Structure formats: structure tokens, C-alpha cells
Chains A and B, each alone.
Chain A
Amino acid sequence: MKKKVVSLLLATAMLATTIVGCGGSSAPAASDAPAEDAPVAEAPAADNGELPVINFTHGYFHSEAEWPAAAQMREIYQEFADMHKDEFVFNIIANEAGAEGIYNTALNDLAAGEFYDIADFGGWDITPVASAAGAILDLKPYLDEDPAFKNGVGVCYDQNLTADGAIYSVREQIEAVGFWYNEALFEEAGATVPADWKTWADFDAAVDALLAAGIQPVSLNAGWPANILLAGYNQRSADSRAFHLAGANVETFDTDAFKGSIDFMQNSVLKKIGVANFDPAGDSETYRDDFFDGKTAMLFNGVWDAGASVGCGAGDENVKPAIFPTDEPGKKAALLSGGCGFVVSSKLDEAQTAACIEFMKYMTSPEVASKIIAYGIGMAPGADINYDEVANSVDAPEAKLLVEACRLCNSADYKALGLGNAFGDYEGEIQSKYAGLKDGSKTVEDVVTELNEFMAAAE
């Protein structure tokens, strides 16, 4: 009898544990709590019952040693919270899964009819699904009524304007992309440096000169850097810019503009570089190492790589920023992608919404924009940034290099979205073709046919 009672108790305990384990919890998710060892100063404050409470989630969880920019971003957030502590409670929550974790959590929350108060999605575009679910706020009316706010978000205004005339996200920094080059290697090869290029023909000539001198022009992988080069080449003429602008909405890839771009990638780049300088793994970082070790002459990456020049094997003094030539002599192009950043819930009350708008205005203000550039975090989208002033305010060579790179991108005659932001899912399909283009197993026509098939399947 005793045995039976004990067994029965055990079975009941197991069942209870199962039910409790499956139950929901009102406590914050573990992933939303800052790491113990991460110096995240801010912690969610308690609701004092009087002031409006806003929870802001971001992905800058890294320790200062790991990524100094993350600590500086948290400092900027905290300054805002402190400035408004008498008006509302602004809880700053670092998600240790980063922007991707914030995106995945948002998907789960949406399924349960919930959404963050405000979150920084760091480029992970939640807006199509969240707006279709009616969960997020249209920011356009707030941008239209405040010219300073509109100026502060810069290119994000046009880039994030949806077909139905709404803007669901703005960002305090943008992916500003041109490329970097090693001046010493260009000089050694007797090639014209990118700063003096007039058209893409100069790129071809420089690549040939570098190869003739036994210098690898560039390292790529089947992803990010190759996509930058393709997107940069897409800005060469009015036709190809129009094709790029249409992006994910193109009706066919069977256009002269696209074929010309793929032909360039195959014959002017991929087939010319060594096998060791093309990593078929799309997430390989070897291409950066090669450049900063002084093994290759060009690096296709954003302005933020200014920081990596410090003490690099290529020599700090040799690393220079550049933007893309076009086929219109003297005209230059750069890739400036806003993408998905701050997104606000549509379920907030008036006071909470006002606080979120205030926060975004602060984050896109010229003061914060200057800090973002001066701290070496990245490039700000604002149209009112005084680059001379920012350049004078920084001392570190890498900070000066970043300011110079940002200024250069901002000075481009043509500013376009990066390949991923423009082409969405097609980006992955396009990059999967590079290996075949390099080894010659795939032709330009093959690429066009296969992309059109992918388009048909995606409909």
C-alpha cells in the first residue's frame, strides 16, 4: 500500500511538473536579460504606476572589450532615459541573441498577438509581416510633421516608404558601403588608384595591372563582398540603376542591364582572381583577413571596417576608402541602406507612443549622428551632418578614416540600396551562382534562366 501511495504521488508530481513546464510565464524571457558578465548598465526599471513605461529592446549586448561600439550605443540610450526620467520610464533591454534574436522573438510574439513596445531590429526586416498583422505604427505622419526628424532619417524616408505609403521603420545608422583599397599595392603595380578612376574601364585596367604585378586584386566569398561589388556595378548606367531600383519587384532577370552585371562578375572579376581568393562559403571572413594582411589590393566592405585598419599588416597609412565609378565619367556611386531599425508597436497609448517618437527623434538628431560617426560606430543617415566638424572632433586615425569614408559615401552622385535590401530573397539565389560563374560551369544565360525559374516558384 505504501509503495502504491508513493508511486501515485510520483506520477502526480510528474504530471504537475509537465503542466507547469508547459505553462506561460509573465517573467521576462531569459534572452532579454543582459549577460552577467556584459557590462550592461541599464536594467529594466519597475513600473512606478505613475509615469508611462516603455520597454526598448536592442541587440547591443556585447561587452566593451568585445565590441566598443555596443557599449557606446548603450551609453547613448541611457543618456536619453536619464534625460526623460521625470516624464516616462524608458527601460533599456539588451537581447543577447542580437538583432536576429529580436526578429525571431518578434515573430513568436506576433503569433501570440503581441509586439515589442519599441525595438531596434538592426537590419532584420520585420515590417512586412508585422504591418500585415497590424501590429506596428506608421511613422510617416510623425516624419512629415517634423522637418528635423525627416532630415535626421535621411535616405530611410524614401527607402522605407512602402507601396501603401507608410513608413514602418527608421534607423539611426545606415550601412554605408563603398570599398577599401591598399594604396601601396596599387602603386607597386603601377595601377591607377580608385580615387582617380573615372569609369569602370579604369577598374578593369587596374585589375589587369595588379595581376600582371603578381598581386591579387581582391578576395571574395559567395556572399556579402561579391554582392557589394555586383550592387556597385549595377549603378553604372541609368538602365542598370533602374533595374537595381526595381529590385525584388523586377518582372524578369532577362534584361541587358542584369546580364551585363553578371557578365562583369564572371569575366572581369571571378575568373580573374585565384581559387584561394574565392571562398564558396558565404560566411567566410577570409576576404577581410587577406586585405588587412596586405595580401589583396581591394576590400568590398562598409565604412565600419575603418576600425580594422589599426595596426593591420597592410599598414594603417595604406588603407584608403573609395566609392564606385560609373560609366558616366567622373560620376560616383555608393550603397547607402537604411533597412529595418526602430519599429514601434501600434498598441501603445498616446503617452507611450509620444515617448517612442521622442526617442527616435533623439537617435536621429545631428548630435547623436555626430557621436555615431565620431565613436566609430558607423554612418548616420542624417542630411544635416557637418562632416568637417565631426572630423575636427576626433583624434584617432581610425575615427578620421571613418569620417572620411562616410563623407565620401555621402558625396556620391548616385546612392542606392545594397543588394539584399533591394532584391530580398533573390540575393541568396544570385550569390549561389558565383561559384558556377567562377569555374565556368554556368553561363550568364543559365543564371538568368534559373533566377526566372526561382521567381516563378516564389509566386
Chain B
Amino acid sequence: MNNSKLKKLFGEKNRFIFFFLLPGIVLFIAIYAYPLVQIFATSFTKWNYQNFLKPEFLGWDNLFSNYQKLFTVDKNFQRALINSIKWVVLTMVIQIPFTVLVALALAKKLKGWRLARNAFIIPNIISTAAIGLIFLNLYSPSRGIITEICEFFVPGSQVSVLASETSAFWAVTFSFILFGGSSCLLLLTQIFSIDPAIYEAARIDGASEFQLDWNIRLPLIRPMIGTVSVMAANYGLLLYNEIALITQGGPDNATYSLSYYIYKTAMGSTKLNFARANTAGVIQFLLGLILVGMINKAFRTSKAD
């Protein structure tokens, strides 16, 4: 590196930028990077209530022992992993298409569109804890409206949504899957930023509203769909509040998510198995990276697009 390059690197302007970045860098290292490295490192240790103050390295022969146990004997983890993947897939196949459809419909600016937009956003500005409690009451077998409705149509049906493994999974799923208000706002912003001249030209060529949506709006908001897909998939992968409040992982651990498993293993158990929980955390992190990579690849646009 020659003198002029060095001078430029440590020049007044860069020093100035560095000063502004410094608080962010310090916070990132202290709050994010250090714990992340620690999570990775302790996934190769024995660390529970017996050696709370001093994690013990498992040794090279047993390096992946925690990982091995998760995938071979720990049924709760396996269930949590499968559920989390299911929730990611469901957000991609239900929440994203539904949100895109709502955004396309709202973009037509039909009468009452503002009211509809605001109504769609309301669940996203309510805390997930409150949403969880609302759904818990909806599903309650003694006072919930779902049981009442089923009883009205099929007397004696005695439906208890949260008592069955299958229905409990869907009960948790529906407590968040249709709430794409924030994503919808982002998509709407993107749609409104499209040059109206493009629509004019298409209409002159005789394009219908469907063709405008299919051939103009959807291709042009594709990068934003990619962005909201990453956000939604992450939400599905990290799901915790709804489970903690509605099912507490039950019945029979059928609604465990990775986040809930991590909490239960580390803090919800008398054994305080931090090593096992951190191992699950590493898997969750890697899964998140893979997901983001896949979604980015799927929604990547080229010049040809």
C-alpha cells in the first residue's frame, strides 16, 4: 500500500466516519458478536447446573456430542426443528402470497382502501404477547368462541382446539400467519413508487388490470417481496411469544419451536443445560443463514429482469 493510499485511509474524512461508527461497532461486538462466538464455542462443551461457572470442553473425541444428541435422542428438539421449518414454509406459502394479494388490492385505491389498510396493520402494532392472550381466550374450551361456534353447529361436538396435537399446531399458526401488515406497507410503498407512465403505456396497449398486476407490478416489486419474505421467514423461525402464551409447547410438546426449546432447555429446566440450548441456537442461526441465502437467491433480479 503506497503512501497516498494510506493517507487516504487514515485521512481526516475517514477518521471522521470512523468516530461515528465507533459506538455502533463497540455495541455490535459487545452485544452481538461476543455472545454469538460464545454460543458457538459453548456448543462444544458440557455446561449445566453442575459446572455453571466453568463450561468444560467435551474433547476432540466428543466434539459434536451435543449435536449428535440433539439429532439422535432428543425428540423435543427434533419436533421443534420440524415445527420451525414448517412455520417457515407456511409463512412463505400463506403469509407472503396473502400479503402480496392484499397489497395489490389496496393499490387499486378502491373506496375505503385506507380503512382496510389500517385495519390490516392493527395486529402488527399490538404486542405479540397480547395477541397470544387474545387467541388463548378464543381457543379456551370453557369460554372460547371457537368451542361455542362448533357447539352451535354440531351440538355435543365438545371441541377443544388446544387439546389435540394437530389442531394445536394450526391454532398457533393462525395466531400469526395472516398478520402481514408491516410487509403489506412495504409492498404498497414499492407499488406506489412505480412510474405511472408505465401503466399508461400498458393501458394504451390494451392491458387489463390483471395483466398490469402480473406483468408490471409483481415483477417490479420482486426485490421487496424478497425482503418481506426474509422478514416473514425469520419470524416463523424465531417464533416464541405465541407458543409461550397459547400452548406452552403442548399438548405433548407438539407445538415446540426452536426458540421455545432453547428457553426450556436453558432456563425452564432445573438442569440449566446451557450447552444443549446453545447447540440448538447454533443450528437455528445456521438455518436462518441458509434461509436468507435461499430467499435472496430466489428473489434476485438481474438486468434482464
Interface check B1, CB cutoff 8 A: no
Interface check B298, CB cutoff 8 A: no
Complex contacts, A457 vs chain B, CB 8 Å: 69, 73-77
Cβ < 8 Å to A, chain B residues 246-273: 246-253, 264, 267-272
A432 touching B250 in the complex, CB below 8 Å, given contacts A132-B52, A456-B73, A457-B76:
yes
Complex contacts, B23 vs chain A, CB 8 Å: 11, 14-15, 17-18
Interface check A33, CB cutoff 8 A: no
Cβ < 8 Å to B, chain A residues 268-291: 274-284, 286, 290
Interface check B51, CB cutoff 8 A: yes
Name B69's closest neighbour in chain A (CB-CB): A457
Q: Among the listed stretches B122-130, B158-166, B206-214, B219-227, which one makes contact with chain A, having 4 or more residues with CB under 8 Å of it?
A: B158-166
| Shortest distance between the CB of B161 and any CB in chain A (Å) | 8
Name A8's closest neighbour in chain B (CB-CB): B19
- Choose among B26, B49, B246, B271 the residue with the greatest number of A CB atoms under 10 Å from its CB: B49
**Interface readout for B20-32 with A: 1 if CB under 8 Å, 0 if not?**
1011001100100
In this complex, how many residues of chain B approach chain A with their Cβ under 8 Å: the count is 48
| Shortest distance between the CB of A127 and any CB in chain B (Å) | 10
Complex Cα distance A282/B247, Å?
A: 8
Interface check B288, CB cutoff 8 A: no
Which of B76, B136, B141, B246 interacts with A276 by CB under 8 Å? B141
B76→A439 contact, CB < 8 A: no
Interface check A425, CB cutoff 8 A: yes
Complex contacts, A19 vs chain B, CB 8 Å: 26
Complex contacts, B251 vs chain A, CB 8 Å: 222, 280, 432, 434-436
Complex contacts, B73 vs chain A, CB 8 Å: 453, 456-457
Complex contacts, B75 vs chain A, CB 8 Å: 450, 453-454, 457
Interface check A165, CB cutoff 8 A: no
Interface check A128, CB cutoff 8 A: yes
Name B248's closest neighbour in chain A (CB-CB): A282
**Sample of 12 A–B contacts (CB below 8 Å):** A15-B22, A18-B23, A111-B52, A132-B49, A276-B141, A280-B160, A280-B168, A280-B251, A283-B248, A286-B142, A428-B264, A432-B253
**A interface residues, Cβ below 8 angstroms from B:** 4, 7-8, 11-12, 14-15, 17-19, 22, 104, 107, 110-111, 113, 125, 128-129, 132-133, 219, 222, 274-284, 286, 290, 424-425, 428-429, 432-436, 438-439, 441-442, 450, 453-454, 456-458
